[in-house]
């Protein structure tokens, strides 16, 4: 099982990934408070020529030597590009090899940066990298979806402080994502409209939860936010697949994305957070009921027993008040 394995929970229909390479993660046995190591301490993502993994992609600096963003394979991958996607039956159980790809997007050569302190141009470089790598990963016919995400700080799951995010390409669609797609389809069958377009229109008209907007995007705290100061950034034009983003939309996305991350950095004192780009899985890119968006989840509270057992979020904050707090400059 050295290349990993997936097993299906027969009772819930959820796949579980077994990734033995993750046992080597440097923080596994270390519970100390994370400190920002200096470049001299051989940060694995600093531009010191000591990468243990080959460079997959470089976005060069437009006006001087060097790079803006760089992509390398994850040294401790969740899934690996070997094996196949055939299902294996074992009695009442189902499994398959852990096929997929796991990449690290090094967002800047500057060790002490974060998207909340970057310029719009630097954030635009990250989005351009996401788009190019997303298209490349989805070109593999065995890839069923590509998940772009960022873990900021140890409390949100980051193992290194150097600014970076990740992309995981999977050979299956997780049950959670299928559930979202199915809910959107049920809404569309009932009303013949995209639920996300309806949410966007309502939020824009009411305005109470909108933080800011531009020609292409609206950023708002969702009506049923799971956590304090959760933010969705949603394109105004209906598109199911992030891969179909236009050049103009990429520029507008960079502006509003940088602004929201800067607001979180300033107003919440550089909080731990996760963000993910929610986009259609393979074969769903042209579906009329799906709409891609970016979801940002600050880690300001810790889920406890009831939340984990019941699968229900408890949010001590009111979305309208959070939006006003983030909107106020």
**244-248 long-range contacts, Cβ below 8 Å, gap at least 24?**
244/285, 245/131, 248/215, 248/216
194 among annotated binding-site residues: no
162 among annotated binding-site residues: yes
Residue-wise over 194-233: b if at least 16 C-beta within 10 A, else e?
bbbbebbeebeeeeebbbbbeebbbbbbbeebebbbbbbb
Q: Which of 102, 131, 152, 164 is catalytic?
A: 164
Strand 5-9 to strand 67-73: parallel, antiparallel, or no bridges (unpaired)?
unpaired
43 among annotated binding-site residues: yes
- Whether residue 129 contacts residue 105, with contact meaning beta carbons closer than 8 Å, is answered with yes
Provide φ and ψ at 16, rounded to 5°.
-120, 130
46 among annotated binding-site residues: yes
- Whether residue 76 contacts residue 22, with contact meaning beta carbons closer than 8 Å, is answered with yes
61 is catalytic: no
CA-based nearest residue to 249, from 262, 236, 240:
236
Q: Please give the Cα distance from 298 to 92 (Å, whole number).
A: 40
> Binding site: what residues are annotated?
43, 46, 111, 162
- Give catalytic residues, as residue numbers: 164
> Binding site for Zn(2+): what residues are annotated?
43, 46, 111, 162
């Amino acid at each position: 099982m050295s290349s990993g394995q997936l097993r299906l929970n027969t009772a819930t229909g959820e796949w579980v990934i077994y990734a033995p390479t993750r046992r080597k993660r440097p923080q596994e046995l270390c519970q100390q408070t994370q400190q920002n190591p200096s470049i001299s301490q051989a940060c694995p993502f600093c531009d010191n020529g000591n990468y243990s993994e080959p460079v997959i992609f470089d976005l060069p600096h437009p006006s001087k030597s060097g790079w803006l963003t760089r992509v390398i394979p994850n040294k401790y991958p969740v899934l690996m590009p070997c094996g196949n996607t055939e299902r294996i039956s074992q009695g009442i159980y189902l499994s398959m090899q852990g096929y997929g790809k796991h990449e690290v997007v090094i967002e800047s050569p500057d060790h002490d940066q974060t998207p909340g302190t970057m310029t719009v141009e630097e954030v635009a470089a990250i989005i351009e990298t996401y788009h190019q790598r997303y298209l490349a990963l989805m070109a593999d016919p065995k890839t069923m979806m590509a998940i772009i995400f960022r873990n900021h700080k140890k409390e949100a799951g980051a193992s290194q402080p150097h600014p970076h995010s990740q992309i995981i390409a999977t050979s299956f669609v997780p049950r959670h994502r299928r559930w979202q797609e199915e809910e959107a389809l049920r809404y569309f069958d009932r009303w013949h409209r995209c639920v996300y377009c309806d949410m966007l229109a309502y939020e824009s008209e009411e305005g109470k939860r909108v933080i800011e907007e531009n020609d292409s995007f609206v950023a708002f705290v969702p009506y049923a936010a799971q956590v304090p100061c959760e933010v969705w950034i949603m394109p105004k034009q209906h598109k199911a697949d992030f891969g179909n983003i236009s050049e103009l939309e990429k520029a507008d996305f960079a502006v509003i994305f940088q602004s929201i991350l800067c607001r979180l950095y300033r107003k919440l004192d550089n909080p731990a957070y996760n963000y993910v780009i929610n986009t259609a899985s393979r074969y769903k890119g042209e579906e009329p009921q799906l709409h891609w968006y970016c979801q940002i989840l600050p880690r300001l509270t810790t889920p406890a027993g009831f939340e984990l057992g019941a699968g229900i979020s408890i949010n001590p904050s009111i979305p309208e008040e959070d939006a006003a707090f983030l909107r106020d400059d």
